[in-house]
Amino acid sequence: MNDNPDSVPCIPAPAGSGTRDRRWRLAICTGTLLVAAFLLFWNLGAYSLWSDEALTALGGEGVLETGDTTALLKNGNIVAWLNGRELVGLEIRAMPPAMYYATAASFAVFGVGNWQARLPFALCGLLTVALMLWWARRATLSYLLVLSLGIIGNVSMFLYFRNCRYYALAVLAATVVAWCYWQWDGRKRWLAGMAAASSVLFASHYSMYVMVYAALFVDFLVWRRREGRPALSLGDWLIVWLPQIIINTFVFLVWCPLKTGTDGNLWKNSLTEQLTLWWWHLRDLNTVEFLSWPLILLAFGISVARIKKTPFPTPALRALTCIVVMTLVLTVITTQLVSSTQVADVRYLLPTLPAGIALTAWAACRLSFGRMAVAAPLAALVFFSNLTHGGMFFKWCGARSTAWCYVQEILSPNPEPYRPTAVWLNAHAAPGDSVYVTNGLDSCYPLMFSTPQLLYAWQFDNRSKPQYAALSPVHFKGEKLPDWLVAFGSGNLQQLERDISQYWHLPVRYELAQKIDVLWKDLYRPELFWRRFEPVTQYNHDRDVVLIFRRTSPGPMQTTGDGS
């Protein structure tokens, strides 16, 4: 067994192994898959869908009802995020369609619900883990063990894979593309697999497709074409690109963000702001534990120092180059404005996640100098604490074991605002009643998914577009008063009051019907810097809660009371 750390690629190459060695590898891979399955599926439906998840699930319901990503559901509701920003006509067209159809397939088989919405993506996540282990199955035993620890200790990966969103599907497709690219040996099956996975990736997320292919293009120019592999014939090129040209063109012409209002911030950052954003992308890969930059840079430093004694780790350098290229490409094509935030949109960096785990595993092996007795505890420190990520300097978490925090949370989920609000509305609001939920944080869509018998009012500012002419008055601000108002926190309560006074000029009275004493904010998004693993108990129990108002009679809106 070869445990030379300089020969351990971050994306491993085959190596021979004996019977005992194979048994250890089988045990490691099987154990990793079982632990990953637990971390992916346990209490999968415990939390209500948060806003982006709910938008995906509602789009899936539209597919289930009509075959297309319609915004107008059969129950009379319409999915009109930010005044219909994602719509062309009455269809959702701003996002690629794969996530909607995957959700619809799950609903068709298992019914509609929280865990059903997340199930296909959790399965994609488990397949990604399986592919990473299969890819590394013939690496050194030290590397395989460290990689397995890196997989089960990477909380960000499991958080994203448990979401009803494009995340897991895109990462699986990107990993399959990279696998087929790496394995190609002249046989056409690898090219066909690459073409199929590429179309799935394109139908999952356009930016991620561009990022992955930019990284592969750089890798091909710098390394792959020098490896002595068979040259690509015209037929080979057609196998890779002809299906993609046909499928991807159709997908983009139908689900085209350029036809919607979602691309308004494209290329609005200055050069200085773009450089700042690139730095944020690189920095926050480490912040959210996709990888460990201190460990990786130290390992490369040692490799440079030992370059006369051992070969430089080219596979690790190739993985690092791919990560840097993808962050750079995203910086150029993202719509994120530096002026509006202080952190990167790390969800768009998800294609770097498998490579980041593999590269960090290589760094741990490299720094252990081939000794498993050193590699295993070092890997445990790196992957089961945030110390090498600088967690002790993060005000939002401090030094911790993110993996342990995550396990505690999935065993005992925290209180969340949408479920008790939906339960109360289901019990007290009559089917067909209208409810207005301020859309500042998209809070209406989790409720729309959980309480579909209600009509969610005032999603449009006006009837400015002809396709809205036949829609019910309840969808337009000022045309029909909602029966109920729901405010998530005092900030949204103020927005409700402003909207009522602005769009309805006649006297009207709403009385406080119920105060749901739970923190109004959903703190279970997958981004680590926006997630809380422990329940929040210190909050204002009058202002930072969910407030539900019932329309009673003409008169001023009443914003205080004991509830009923």
3-state percent helix, strand, coil for the chain, nearest multiple of 5: 55, 5, 35
Q: Do 262 and 81 touch, CB atoms closer than 8 A?
A: no
Position 95 confidence tier, pLDDT thresholds 50, 70, 90 = very high
Q: Residue 15: is its pLDDT beyond 90?
A: no
- Look at residues 133, 136, 106, 131 and name the one whose alpha carbon lies nearest to residue 118: 106
Please, which pLDDT band fits residue 13 given cuts at 50, 70 and 90? very low
Task: Determine the pLDDT at residue 96.
Answer: 97
Mean pLDDT of 158-175: 98
Contact 100, 165 (CB under 8 A): no
Give the per-residue SS3 of 83-95: HHCCEECCEECCC
Residue 314 CB neighbour total at 10 angstroms: 11
- Return the pLDDT at 556: 54
Regarding pTM above 0.85, the answer is yes
Q: What is the pLDDT of residue 7?
A: 41
**Identity of the residue numbered 380:** A
Does residue 478 surpass a pLDDT of 60?
yes
Least confident range from 4-18, 456-470, 523-537: namely 4-18
pLDDT one-digit tens code per residue, 168-188: 999 999 999 999 999 998 899
pLDDT of the residue at 561: 45
Give, for 511, the enclosing helix (H) or strand (E): strand 510-516
Tell me what the mean pLDDT of segment 180-199 comes to: 95
Residue pLDDT, tens place only, 205-224? 999 999 999 999 999 999 98
Mean pLDDT value across residues 520-531: 94
DSSP count for the chain of H helices, then E strands: 20, 7
Instruction: List the beta bridge partners of residue 471.
Output: none
Structure token pair of residue 224: 């792959």
Residue that has been written with the tokens 């018998």 in this structure: 453
Neighbouring C-beta atoms of residue 564, cutoff 10 Å:
10
pLDDT tens digits, one per residue of 353-389: 999 999 999 999 999 987 888 999 999 999 999 999 9
- The mean pLDDT of 62-79, rounded to a whole number, is 96
For the cut 50, the answer to whether the pLDDT of residue 487 exceeds it is: yes
| Predicted pLDDT at 9 | 43
Q: What is the pLDDT of residue 442?
A: 75
**pLDDT score recorded for residue 5:** 41
pLDDT in tens, 257-280: 999 877 767 778 899 999 999 999
- Kindly report the average pLDDT of the chain as a whole number: 91
Which residues, in sequence order, are CB contacts of 465 under 8 Å at separation 6+? Answer: 84
pLDDT mean over 418-434: 96
pLDDT at 11 over 70: no
Could you give the CA distance from residue 195 to residue 549 in angstroms, rounded to a whole number? 53
Residues with Cβ within 8 Å of 19's Cβ and at least 6 positions away in sequence, in order, are none
Is 60 exceeded by the pLDDT of residue 8? no
pLDDT at residue 226, rounded to an integer = 81
The SS3 assignment for 499 reads helix
For the segment 222-251, the average pLDDT, to the nearest whole number, is 91
pLDDT value of position 562 = 44
Q: Look at 2-11, 150-159, 389-398 and tell me which has the smallest mean pLDDT.
A: 2-11
Domain ranges of the chain: 5-45+116-411, 418-551
Cα–Cα distance between 12 and 203 in angstroms, integer?
29
Asked whether residue 440 carries a pLDDT value surpassing 60, the answer given is no
Q: Return the pLDDT at 14.
A: 43
- Position 490 scores a pLDDT of 87
Checking phi first, is residue 81 left (phi over 0); if not, alpha (psi -120 to 50) or beta? beta
- Cα–Cα distances in angstroms (integers) from residue 418 to residues 79, 388, 493, 536, in the given order: 18, 36, 16, 15
Q: Name the nearest CA neighbour of 522 among 537, 534, 532, 512.
A: 532
| pLDDT-derived band at 554, boundaries 50, 70, 90 | low
In percent, the amount of the chain with pLDDT more than 70 equals: 93
Return the pLDDT at 310.
67
Do the Cβ atoms of 59 and 91 come closer than 8 Å? no
Question: Is the confidence at residue 20, as pLDDT, over 90?
Answer: no
Percentage, residues of the chain above pLDDT 90? 79
Phi, psi (rounded to 5 degrees) for 93: -130, 0
Name the one residue in this structure whose structure tokens are 């806003």: 51
Contacts of 477 (CB under 8 A, 6+ apart): 458, 460, 461, 462, 499, 502, 503
Phi, psi of 362 (to 5 degrees): -60, -45
